[in-house]
Structure 1
Amino acid sequence: MLTVGLLVCGPAAAAAVVVFDTTFARAPHRRPVFQLDQRFSILNGKVVGTNGFKAGIEWRGRMRAGIGLYRLSGGVPTRVRQPPGTPPGTRDEVRFRYGVVYGEYVFIGDRRWELSTPLQVGIGGYYTKYSYPDGAVGRTKSEILYLVEPSVAAHYRVFRWVGLGAGTGYRQVFASGSQPEDQISGYIFFARVKLFLGELYKVVRGREQLFTQQGLRRDGEVVR
């Protein structure tokens, strides 16, 4: 937060920050952001993963908004009774995928790391997959689901153009048809790779070193 004070001390301080740090969290311009997002949940006693990606726009380093797509990487064991006539030994799992609109507010951050509060609201579909003992596979008709995912996230910028992050939150499912909501609702924890496309473009355009700490160090930085 010391850098924030430098921004309001005067023109010289502000200019120094611009030259010294092109990746500062409160840059006054908009820039695109892209995230590969891997989420995990413990649902009905099984750890399951959800693969996804998000793309959006960042304003002044404080607010982000965009869209994303997610898909369950493995099935969730059901706790409902199988239909009459189902062969013994049949495995049944719930599978789902969904799209989201997200918003994110950064309330603590500097050149290297940040802490934020993402919120996702989405709509998607789910179905139950049956794996029969003879190797055949069946599935039910897809049902619509709605969900909201509040969370808390942090990331650490490894280089100017890429960061690694993690977080935790809760997925609450609404209007999920005939299936019990607790088969999809639950706590989530996630990991992410965050690409700063604007910074990557600057590095490539300026023919700078790709794997450099330039612009991230607090002290002893060599200004070019």
Structure 2
Amino acid sequence: MLPFVRCLLLVLALLGAAGLAVAEPTTAPPDSSRVRQAHRRVVFQFDQRYSLLQGQTVGINGLKLGVEWRGRLRTGLGLYFLSTGVPTNAPVPEFIPPGTEDKVRFRYAALYGEYVVVGTPRWEVSLPVQAGLGRYYIRYQYPDGTFYRTPKRNIWLIEPTIGGHMRVFRWVGLGAGVGYRQALLTADKLEDDISGVVFYGRVKLFLGDFIKVVRGHERLFSQRGLRRRDHQPRP
């Protein structure tokens, strides 16, 4: 296993242990409409993104684990890998026969930070930024079906995005986001092949709120907790 993956798994375990030892929830001021969470909590996410690379839409699959502080700041680590190869403009070695298909593939680990600019019971808009280190290689598939793969090399990436979601009900929401991935310092000068616009759309399940709704025997498709008056002081 690669050294950076070993380190990632170790830090993820430490983050999980730290997040499980959360403090008691704080009490929000009666007139606050902003979401107030516990002092800190563990956040986990399947992160499916898409990019326009070399005129193709390709998927990038990922897992993120981190810690959230007071519903405003999230930090953690993620693992990503390209689900499909991307055609490359890298120079073709002389021994590669004509008609060969060449594609670049990569995977990387990333540190991320995310600040919630707008955080109400119904809406959230945030600014995530992540920086990663990974490995990439070029896969050449010959006309006869056999293939050759180049040695793996390092790749650095930085990815700023803006995203948000709207809760349809207390326990489920719809989200979307857009950003840009910039590759840096690749040995084969493949920055333009791997860099590109990033976008996503997702359905978000808020598991903690779903459990509270079920345990409290509340209406599953209620707007309770999402309206401003639910967070205003009672006369």
Tell me the TM-score normalised to structure 1 length. Answer: 0.80
Q: Deviations over 1:96-143 (max 9, x none)?
A: 111111110011121111111001111111111111111112211111
Give the 5 Å matches for 1:181-220.
Answer: 181-218=191-228
CA root-mean-square deviation: 2.4
Match status 1:123 vs 2:138: no
Distance (Å, rounded) in 2 between the aligned partners of 1:210 and 1:41: 35
> Tell me, which stretches of 5 or more residues in structure 2 are unaligned?
1-27
Give the number of the structure with larger relative contact order, counting CA–CA contacts within 8 Å between residues 6 or more apart. Answer: 1
> Tell me, which stretches of 5 or more residues in structure 1 are unaligned?
1-12
User: Would you say the 8 A contact 1:41–1:48 is kept in 2?
Assistant: yes
Amino acid at match of 1:66: G
| Selected match of 2:82 from 52, 72, 78 | 72
Deviates more, 1:132-141 or 1:198-207: 198-207
Distance 1:139 1:186, change over 3 A: same
* Local SS of the residue matching 2:62: strand
Distance 1:142 1:212, change over 3 A: farther
The corresponding residue for 1:40 is 50
Distance (Å, rounded) in 2 between the aligned partners of 1:203 and 1:196: 11
Distance (Å, rounded) in 2 between the aligned partners of 1:14 and 1:202: 21
Distance (Å, rounded) in 2 between the aligned partners of 1:143 and 1:53: 22
Distance (Å, rounded) in 2 between the aligned partners of 1:53 and 1:101: 12
User: Would you say the 8 A contact 1:58–1:64 is kept in 2?
Assistant: yes
Residue 204 of structure 1, CA deviation: 4.3
Distance 1:219 1:26, change over 3 A: closer
Q: Deviations over 1:131-189 (max 9, x none)?
A: 11111122111111111111111111233233321111111112222242111112211
| Selected match of 2:29 from 2, 14, 21 | 14
The corresponding residue for 1:180 is 190
Tell me the TM-score normalised to structure 2 length. Answer: 0.77
Distance 1:72 1:124, change over 3 A: same
User: Would you say the 8 A contact 1:91–1:132 is kept in 2?
Assistant: yes
Q: Deviations over 1:65-101 (max 9, x none)?
A: 1111111111110112321121221100001111111
Distance 1:70 1:135, change over 3 A: same
The corresponding residue for 2:98 is 88
User: Would you say the 8 A contact 2:136–2:152 is kept in 1?
Assistant: yes
Residue 15 of structure 1, CA deviation: 4.7
Amino acid at match of 2:92: Q
Residue 219 of structure 1, CA deviation: 5.3
Give the 5 Å matches for 1:28-177.
Answer: 28-177=38-187
Deviates more, 1:94-103 or 1:156-165: 156-165
User: Would you say the 8 A contact 1:163–1:193 is kept in 2?
Assistant: yes
Amino acid at match of 1:52: G
Percent pairwise identity: 56
Amino acid at match of 1:56: G
Distance (Å, rounded) in 2 between the aligned partners of 1:59 and 1:67: 15
